[in-house]
Structure 1
Amino acid sequence: MHQLLNINNELHEKWRKIMFRTCVIIGIIIFIAEILIFIFNKHSQTFSPTIIRYLLLYLVLPSVLNLIFILGAYFMLKTEKTSEKTKNHMVAILFFLICACVQCFHHTFPPILCVPCIAVFMTIIFADLKLTRLVFGLSYISLILAFQIASFEGDRDVKAIFLDCIVAGIMIFCSYLGAKVLTRYTNEQAQSIHNSYLKQMELIQEAKTEPLTGLLNRRAMVDILGQAVYQEGVTRTPLILAVIDLDDFKLINDSYGHSKGDEVLVTLADILSQNTPGNENVFRYGGEEFVLLFSGHPIAAVVEMIDKMHQEFREHHFDFLKGSQITFSCGIAEYANSGWSTSEFFEKADQALYLAKSEGKNQNQIYEKRLEEHKLTQCHAFG
């Protein structure tokens, strides 16, 4: 879920940048267009108060406002304290403000009054109906403002301006309805993708989980161990592998049945999980064999944890046993920048386990590498 949220935030970040760059490009295009229109309309006239007023009202003022809007949005988007939602709103409102600026200063052309429709549609990117409603409401406010400015200037008949605004209002409302439908569609599509993602993650987790004990299985161990060995090469974090095998488990199955054997396996899995730090990994490698992977712990601390597991498992009371104990043997290997492959790393711990079995079971053995010889040293046995 967290990973999916990060992906969504990254996607929004990408499109915020695209929308911001688009706003900057539109601002530049509007500025160039204003200059070209001025040259085309006023090239044969000398400078006069009317021309100066035209330049101030239609070129300088809207260009300055657009620049203020863009710079303000830029600093807001760069502020780390600004939330993701606020940034989405900010860039959408920036788009609206540039459209509204064109609408209010160039109301002479009836189609210009409909420009905020573009801003309403652009909110679909963020699939936020509240944002769409906000920009829609602001579009009507800017339309009323454009009507007031046009009426104040008196260049056209008020009734004609009013009719143009009515048509523009209808177009803005239609754009809102269209944006709302598309936003709902986008949300449903995103939800469908989200559900598919969760289902896929669930299937992946099931494929990596052993059904009887609920522990990660051998496939998961191979993947995680490979990642851990690679990470050890980067961070030099201590990495320790412990391979555990139940002692005389076949006798339990033969004497009491597989259901009782399963009970023993589940009990051991619970004890291993409960006594292993939460950020570490516990695996059922197969049959009666389990694997523990420790990262960042000194070997003495790992041995102490495994000793506790020995004691708790040995003292556990099974109803089908009459005074007998079930024990396990453990082989331990420390990676320690050895350069081993993952299979070699596991093999060293497995060799230590083999020695623990051959030396009488119910004990730990630690694999050590000294000079060019590989030597197994006994940790201790349990009575």
Structure 2
Amino acid sequence: MKFTIHRDHFVQSVQHVSKAISPRTTIPALTGIKIVASDEGVTLTGSDSDISIEAFIPKEDEELQLVEIIEEGSIVLQARFFADIVKKLPENTIEITVSDNYLTTLKSGSSEFNLNGLDPEEYPRLPEIEENNIFKVPTDLLKNIIRQTVFAVSTVETRPILTGVHWTLEDGLLACTATDSHRLAMRHAKVETNSGELEFSNVVIPGKSLNELNKILDEKDEWVEIIVTDNQILFKGKNILFFSRLLDGNYPATKNMIPTHSKTSVTLDTKKLTQAIERALLLSRDGKNNVVNLKAMESGEMEITSVTPEVGKVTEELDTINYTGEELRISFNGKNIIDALKVIDSTEVTIDFTGAMSPFVMKPTEHDNMLHLFSPVRTY
């Protein structure tokens, strides 16, 4: 195998596929990046069995020659060294040659590296996915969906199913839900399907997979094709394939958890509420559950307090934009509220309370495609 390649494109693709590689794998080939040079261009693959990423660099892109294939072939190179080497090579072009016994030479300007490669035949094959049921999402929307849900997944492995985001598709509406049993984030979005009958109800994607996908998705105005099977999901972008295994098990029925009525409803300025809770948390940072107390008064004012006996007390007064219902006192995890406020794309939020010890709902006022649910905290 022998080819020359544009360094910047190569570095970016190497960084993308490296995100799927785990140093803890028991399969030696999976500690490396598989490189295949063919007549169309160069394909790079990284995998840890749970996530697999394939990046393709075409011979030409917008009339710029990126790759010159001198001899087709394939090799697996140790990711740990290879990624650092290509990043630091001096010139815009890299020449890669594989000789006998998988010995690989990288040349760029005055630099030359000789690396011991691995047999590409030992590299596990990527999952074969039948592309019958496809739906499409614009890249920027997919990035938003991930950002607005994945933060709420559980980081504790005691209930593995809660470490993922639950996706359902019905009548062209994608519903994405994440919960760690103390808070819940839900996001809806209209998507394009290749078949009006495409539906699924129990697809749970690991939060780790979605975080890695979000890092490699480009902000460009392009579509991502998504294909779901029984145990895999495939995201197809321009010159990138991202495979992830799905989590086994049934996701809890979250629809029943969301209250349909409220005793007290308040509308607040998102930025002012965020800043008030952030200040309240300054004194409870060392506490385990970041408890913030809220008192909603019929006068239309809200009082936010936080008390840490050995440190002190903070009191914030906040004007509401709209207030209906009874007076209320409630305590909650302030950090969870901040996490949600950071992803709500709305200048105002409405919070509906059903009682001092019942879960409450927070929604943006400018659209109805998301909601957040929180459990209160007992303070006595």
TM surpasses 0.5 = no
Structure of greater relative contact order (alpha carbons < 8 Å, 6+ residues apart): 2
State TM-score, norm by structure 2: 0.23
Higher strand share: 2
